[in-house]
Amino acid sequence: MTTDSTTKSPEAASVPPPGAAPAPKRAARGRRRLLTRRDRFTLALMAGVPTVLHVALVWVTALASIALAFTTWDGIGFDSIKWVGLENFKQLFNDNPQFWPAVQHNIIWFVVLILIPTPLGLFLAVQLDKNIRFSRVYQTAFFLPVVISMACIGFVWQLVYNPDTGLINSLIGANKPGHYIDWIGDPDLNLWAVLVAASWRHTGYMMILYLAGLKGVDPSLREASALDGANEWQTFKNVIFPTLRPTNTVVLVVTIIEALRAFDLVFVFNKGAQGTELLSILVTNNIIGESSRIGYGSAIAVVLLVISLVVIVPYLVATFRKERRS
Amino acid sequence: MHLPLSGPFAPTPSRRTLLRGMGGAAVLGAGIPLLSACGSTDAAADPKTVTVGSNASDAVPKKAFADVYAAFKKQSGITVDVNTKDHNTFQEQINSYLQGTPDDVFNWFAGYRMQFFAAKKLAAPIDDVWDKIGGNFPDAMKKLSKGEDGKYYFVPMTTYPWAVFYRKSVFQQHGYKVPTTWDELIALCKQMKKDKLVPIAFGDKDAWPAMGTFDQINFRLNGYDFHVQLMAGKASWTDAKVKATFDHWAELLPYHQDGFMGRTWQDAAQTLVAKKAGMYLLGTFVAQQFTNKDDLDDLDFFPFPEIDSAYGQDTVEAPTDGLMVSKAPKNHAGVLKLLEYMGSPAAEELYLKGDPSVVAASSKADTSAYSPLQKKAFDMIGGAKSLTQFMDRDSRPDFTATVMQPGLQKFLQNPKGVDGLLASIERQKKQIFATS
């Protein structure tokens, strides 16, 4: 298809002028006429192929998994799909001892990420934005955890938390019989232990987002507020932070996504054992493997989808409506 | 960094972004034929080749299998084309693998996990092979190789037992005797605690080791038949017998190494290597952690003690690995020849030369090259009245993975909440087994 468009391009270049000549009267209609048939063909191809792929890989699969949530299926042959209505959801809400803890943990994950690493990242970004010495070095150091894959982070941190040979227990002498602190296994501790690792990474992520936002703040705003006699805190609170609004939207959305898709870190850390159950891990446990419970797993995935829609859609709608108005 | 850039940032789609999109689409489009090419590497059926899908991805078993197949080629002139996948990946993909274009023969496990695929018609019966190799195997192995329809679907190759491991020198030093009853076991644990040893090493980070402990206590206390019924979803988890199993376990639990939820079995085995722990209930693969020859020679094991004299120690948990035939093998005659060979004592002896951590499934295989541990394992399995496979092989894998593993971990954290736990397990079991 590329050869097709290149060989015929000289013709294409020669066609527009006659179409364009009578146009100037009405701009809107004229622009439409500017497109020759070839242009339209190219455009259709360019927009069409990605659309087909998008629909096939995103929408069809998403809708299929919603449909499967109302069935039972072991993944062997399409004739073994059985319609069960709301049965999967009933079992999930009433009888699955891991479901509600998982929902709770996903929420805790979000709350912790928004309360600790996000302000910390903003703080670091503001400091780095002052062009202090070695700012690039700090920037790199704080951002490094984001570059490392989540699986590696999980692996490294579970070494740190290892009850027998881990760094923490060795330092505080908690690796003797009777004194064990089981960071990875204790259901009262392990979620927080994982969240330390998650926050460690998320801080760097937030820092880079805010840093990018701060670089975009018009210096004349700072100058003006300095002339008005505002101190540093007042400038930040009343001038800088409000201009970071678009960045805040991105930060919020990114953090919600991070909280809902939290998976790899925990899976490597302790496979989502008691105390660290997450919705994404329940989906995986039910769907992946032999004689899989695809219907049941899809039901959990649908719950995850609904939660993300409920959280994200109203916020984005409200934000963009405001942006458009201003 | 992929940020959802839209709204205030959204640039109007320029020609360049459109082009980029098309480029990506072209790459994707080019990838699809490549992917489908991967699936169909095997050309038309070649009478001189048999394909085998293997999960033996570790270096030692991989090499051992290669040696066996080389010997088979020399004997029969048939080439074995092995397609090895990572052990866990193989297991996770087995469903789609068997439904697609599987190899003629594939590595798999005996027991329920074999019967499941036999019942789904994803494996072919091999009674004709067993007519020839039947004499090589004890009755317990024959039982393990049959599907629910009574036909043979499986050729066992190797097996290993679960038992209680200990160091001879430690037992000698403190004058301990191998316990043969539950009361002796508890008394020994108490004594070890006094002697500043961890009585029973334990690590359940991977969630499956606890299933091994449950199996031992349950079939010692309630017998093989009840255990199998329970695993097959027929007996109830709220039965008083199951409750009794957990009560026994709760009695033994205080003597387990603490901090076990975050510990892998490898780390737990290290406490036995370091002589800090007295005993460890695990499969013979625990020997892999004994890298020093002297330590390995010092390692010994005994079968889990008797709890109910009606059952004694008649059951051994001996997970068995072997081969199965896929639903429509391309080279049927070659498959028969290969399996006949693989079921022969000669092939198993050759395999064990390369991988001495297991023992032969055939009772005819020569045992003279066995280490003392292997010999003991072989005798233990040969003398067993019944063999079990391990909870996740004897029951539905979806049930054990999504219900039993978290359930047992919950019990280990809170042994007192067993009634509510068992009720919950039974409810979920009914739901899962109802769907088949």
Average pLDDT rounded to a whole number, residues A125-150: 88
Confidence of residue A212 (pLDDT cuts 50, 70, 90): very high
User: What are the tokens at A31?
Assistant: 């622009």
Long-range CB contacts (within 8 A, 24+) of B101-104:
B101/B39, B101/B40, B101/B42, B102/B53, B102/B326, B102/B327, B103/B42, B103/B51, B103/B52, B103/B53, B103/B326, B104/B50, B104/B51, B104/B52, B104/B325, B104/B326, B104/B329, B104/B330, B104/B331, B104/B334, B104/B335
Q: Looking at the complex, does the CB of residue B175 fall below 8 Å from at least one CB of chain A?
A: no
Give the three-state DSSP class for A11: helix
pLDDT value for A49? 94
Cβ atoms A191, A281 nearer than 8 A: no
Give the three-state DSSP class for A86: coil
Locate tokens 């979803």: which residue?
A: B233
Cβ atoms B152, B129 nearer than 8 A: yes
The 3-state DSSP composition of chain A as helix, strand, coil percent (nearest 5) reads 75, 0, 25
CA–CA dist B267, B201 (Å, integer)? 9
pLDDT value for B389? 92
For B292, list phi and psi in degrees, rounded to 5: -85, 130
Query: In this structure, what DSSP letter does residue A197 have?
Result: H
Confidence of residue A31 (pLDDT cuts 50, 70, 90): low
Cβ-based neighbour number of residue A173 at 10 Å: 8
A74-83, A310-319, B21-30: least confidently modelled range: B21-30
Q: Looking at the complex, does the CB of residue B198 fall below 8 Å from at least one CB of chain A?
A: yes
pLDDT value for A280? 92
Q: Looking at the complex, does the CB of residue B192 fall below 8 Å from at least one CB of chain A?
A: no
Cβ atoms A16, A36 nearer than 8 A: yes
Residue B177 burial by CB count (10 A; 0-12/13-18/19+): exposed, middle or buried?
A: exposed
Distance from the A262 Cα atom to the nearest Cα atom in chain B, whole angstroms: 16
Cβ atoms B246, B422 nearer than 8 A: yes
Cβ atoms B177, B255 nearer than 8 A: no
User: DSSP characters for A258-297?
Assistant: HHHH--HHHHHHHTT-TT---HHHHHHHHHSSTT--HHHH
CA dist A39 → A5, A20, A47, B436 (Å) = 10, 14, 12, 55
The nearest alpha carbon in chain A to B199 belongs to A177
| Residues ≥6 apart with Cβ < 8 Å to B333 | B47
pLDDT value for B56? 87
Helix (H) or strand (E) holding B127: helix B127-133
- The mean of the pLDDT values for chain B is 86
pLDDT tens, position by position, for chain B (436 residues)? 343 333 333 334 444 444 444 444 444 433 333 333 344 444 446 788 999 999 988 888 899 999 999 999 999 999 999 999 988 888 888 888 888 889 999 999 998 888 888 988 899 999 999 999 988 998 888 888 999 899 999 999 999 999 999 999 999 999 999 999 999 999 999 999 999 999 999 999 888 999 999 999 999 999 999 999 999 899 999 999 999 999 999 999 999 998 898 888 999 999 999 999 999 999 998 988 888 889 999 999 999 999 999 999 999 999 999 999 999 888 889 999 999 999 999 999 999 888 887 899 888 888 888 888 999 999 998 888 888 999 988 998 889 988 999 999 999 989 998 999 999 999 999 988 886 5
The nearest alpha carbon in chain B to A49 belongs to B25
Query: In this structure, what DSSP letter does residue B146 have?
Result: B
pLDDT value for A139? 87
CA–CA dist B200, B203 (Å, integer)? 10
CB contact under 8 A, A270 and B3: no
Provide the number of CB pairs (under 8 Å) joining chain A to chain B: 145
Q: What percent of chain A has pLDDT over 90?
A: 36
The residue of B405, B413, B428 whose CB has the most chain A CBs within 10 angstroms, and thus the best one to mutate to test that interface, is B413
User: What are the tokens at B249?
Assistant: 């376990």
Confidence of residue A2 (pLDDT cuts 50, 70, 90): very low
Average pLDDT rounded to a whole number, residues A156-164: 88
CB contact under 8 A, A74 and B21: no
Over the Cα atoms of chain B, what is R_g? 25
Cβ atoms B241, B336 nearer than 8 A: no
Q: Looking at the complex, does the CB of residue B206 fall below 8 Å from at least one CB of chain A?
A: yes
Locate tokens 């080279």: which residue?
A: B331
> Side chain identity at B92, as an amino acid letter?
E
CA–CA dist B29, B35 (Å, integer)? 10
| Residue B317 β-bridge partners | B388
A271-275, A320-324, B151-155: least confidently modelled range: A320-324
User: DSSP characters for B79-96?
Assistant: EEEEEE--HHHHHHHHHH
CB contact under 8 A, B428 and A286: no
Chain A 114-153, CB below 8 Å of chain B: which residues? Answer: none
CB contact under 8 A, A290 and B398: yes
Q: Please measure the distance between the N-terminal and C-terminal CA atoms of chain A and give it in whole angstroms.
A: 44
The residue of A274, A284, A326 whose CB has the most chain B CBs within 10 angstroms, and thus the best one to mutate to test that interface, is A274
Residue among A161, A155, A189, A180 nearest A266 (CA): A155
CA–CA dist B1, B3 (Å, integer)? 6
Average pLDDT rounded to a whole number, residues A103-111: 93
- For residue range B139-175, what is the model confidence (pLDDT) as tens digits? 888 888 999 899 999 999 999 999 999 999 999 999 9
CA–CA dist B243, B254 (Å, integer)? 18
| pTM for the whole structure | 0.80
CA–CA dist B375, B284 (Å, integer)? 12
CA–CA dist B22, B32 (Å, integer)? 15
CB contact under 8 A, A293 and B398: yes
Helix (H) or strand (E) holding A66: helix A61-68
Higher pLDDT, A5 or B193: B193
- Chain B residues closer than 8 Å to A320 by CB: 7
pLDDT value for A253? 86
pLDDT value for B22? 41
| Residues ≥6 apart with Cβ < 8 Å to B204 | A185, B210, B260, B261, B263, B408, B409, B412
CB contact under 8 A, A162 and B267: yes
| Residues ≥6 apart with Cβ < 8 Å to B191 | B174, B176
- Chain A residues closer than 8 Å to B258 by CB: 177-178, 180, 182
Cβ atoms A192, A116 nearer than 8 A: no
ipTM of the complex: 0.75
